[in-house]
Amino acid sequence: MSRINRRDFLRLAGGTAAAAGAFGFPGLLLANTRNVVVVGGGVGGCTAAKYLRKLDPTLNVTLVEAKTHYTSCFMSNEVLSGDRTLESITFSYADLKHRYGVNVVIDSAVGIDPAARQVRTASGANLAYDACIVSPGVDFKWDAIEGYDAQVAESIPHAWFAGPQTMTLRNQLLAMPDGGRVAIVAPPNPYKCPPGPYERASQVAMYCKHHKPKSKILILDPKGKFSKARLFKQGWAQHYGFDTDNSMIEWVGRDQGGTVSALDAASGILKAEAGDVRADVINIIPPQKAGAIAFAADLVDGDWCPVDKRTFESTRHPGIYVLGDASSAAKMPKSAYAANSQAKVAVAAILSRFAGAEPGEPTYVNTCYSIIAEEHGISVAAVYRLSEDGKVITKVEGSGGLSPMDASAEHRKREVTYAHSWFRNVIDDMMQ
Ligand SMILES: Cc1cc2nc3c(=O)[nH]c(=O)nc-3n(C[C@H](O)[C@H](O)[C@H](O)COP(=O)(O)OP(=O)(O)OC[C@H]3O[C@@H](n4cnc5c(N)ncnc54)[C@H](O)[C@@H]3O)c2cc1C
């Protein structure tokens, strides 16, 4: 990807050959410096900032990010099993700054004025833009589970943003006695990383199998089914005795009363439809909505941000592009790879707009790996295109698919290698 030029990029990441031809190289020599402000230095925001600068070094690109470092949620479940450290998933913005010339501002965006075309930050700066990209990820609906809020989450962690809470959960697993019970409360759809709670249960089981083999993991789920369920259940049966009398993992779905309505934090009891559940370690992943700035900037319709799926431009405020978890991008899942792919579509659209050209025909891609045991990985992959009416992102017939149910042990082992290699590649592509 390092030697790709803008014309190739537009063709590959969204532009038709015709649009790219009309647009061509002279756009690189634009006299007027354009300002792009990117809110959120996660997968979507970093990828967009990097590719904007890479493809048009005349652009003035400012990335506003609340934290000094990015800790990736993807692969953070491996911290829970002890297979990797938090440091190994924490990255600096130095390359974006020094290698790609992005102005990285550590601050929080608190408002966007679409008429004045300015982003306001907590420290009082007003950043002018010709195009604004918003990729703030998700926020929680704290009123969904009685007794569970941001303060309680400090001791009964969600660990759905990788960071200190990941370590809290890890330390609670270390402190749990052998024979203890871990309860994972899964969220309703839609939420970031559909297979994430089930990979988490697998990684916790991996730790318990080696260190606390009498322990149990209970997944309480308001959903009747979940992503890659047959593959997960097959892997759990193979490694953790799933569906036997001595299963380490138990899944209690909607129809079995898995919906949790309340937590009594003092006694460590969850109120589920099936009855009260006491656990030694509780991990609640609350229902989700777009990050707070999307609400402050009036970019939402309900919980998520509607976008023109050809460009990822907000349908509520032109000139603002919403990427990643915060956007309504059905049928793409809320995943890192999806955010990375959407960023490239939006970059192509913004460069076309600056050049006075129509946006091209986009394609999008997603792959998501889950690691069930040391040598057992599974995945789902798809290539997508826009439906004819331009309203839905649909899977290209015959593209991608799930790992086969009858895969060999060698295949499962190889998928773990692929997962780790995907992780390094996506971090590299977004910010290095
Ligand atoms: C446990 C877990 C495992 C996962 N595993 C995978 C996986 O294997 N594969 C996969 O593809 N995906 C995975 N994901 C999903 C993936 O992490 C997200 O889908 C992806 O990070 C979305 O990118 P984003 O840009 O939308 O948001 P994020 O990457 O979350 O970035 C948002 C950024 O915006 C910043 N921000 C928010 N508001 C503001 C503001 N107002 N001002 C300034 N900065 C702000 C935040 O600090 C953050 O850095 C996983 C998620 C979890 C929780």
User: Are both 37 and 151 inside the same structural domain?
Assistant: no
What is the number of the ligand 1 atom nearest to the C-alpha of 335?
A: 19
pLDDT reported for residue 378: 98
Q: What's the half-sphere exposure (Cβ side, CA atoms, 13 Å) at 290?
A: 26
Give start and end residues of each alpha helix (H) in 64-195.
Answer: 77-81, 94, 164-175
Task: For residue 102, tell me if it sits in a domain.
Answer: no
Mutate to test the pocket of ligand 1, among 76, 90, 193 (most ligand atoms within 8 A of CB): 193
What is the number of the ligand 1 atom nearest to the C-alpha of 336?
A: 11
Amino acid (one-letter) located at 340: N
Residue ranges for the chain with pLDDT beneath 70: 1-31
pLDDT reported for residue 5: 54
pLDDT reported for residue 22: 31
* Domain limit, last residue, from 306, 336, 358: 358
User: Are both 295 and 216 inside the same structural domain?
Assistant: no
Strands 126-128 and 313-314: unpaired
Task: For residue 101, tell me if it sits in a domain.
Answer: no
**Ligand 1 pocket member 415 (CB < 6 A):** no
Task: For residue 380, tell me if it sits in a domain.
Answer: no
Strands 216-220 and 249-252: parallel
- How many folded domains does the chain comprise? 2
User: Are both 294 and 341 inside the same structural domain?
Assistant: yes
User: Are both 251 and 307 inside the same structural domain?
Assistant: no
Domain, as residue range, for 343: 6-66+107-139+289-358
User: Are both 154 and 280 inside the same structural domain?
Assistant: yes
**Ligand 1 pocket member 173 (CB < 6 A):** no
CB 127 within 8 A of CB 62: yes
pLDDT reported for residue 32: 72
CB 400 within 8 A of CB 379: no
Task: For residue 352, tell me if it sits in a domain.
Answer: yes
| CATH of residue 340 | 3.50.50.60
pLDDT reported for residue 205: 98
User: Are both 278 and 157 inside the same structural domain?
Assistant: yes
Mutate to test the pocket of ligand 1, among 293, 325, 367 (most ligand atoms within 8 A of CB): 325
Q: Could you report the per-residue pLDDT of 56-98, keeping only the tens digit for each? A: 999 999 999 999 999 999 999 999 999 999 999 999 999 999 9
Mutate to test the pocket of ligand 1, among 38, 51, 74 (most ligand atoms within 8 A of CB): 74
pLDDT reported for residue 7: 53
User: Are both 123 and 46 inside the same structural domain?
Assistant: yes
Model pTM score: 0.94
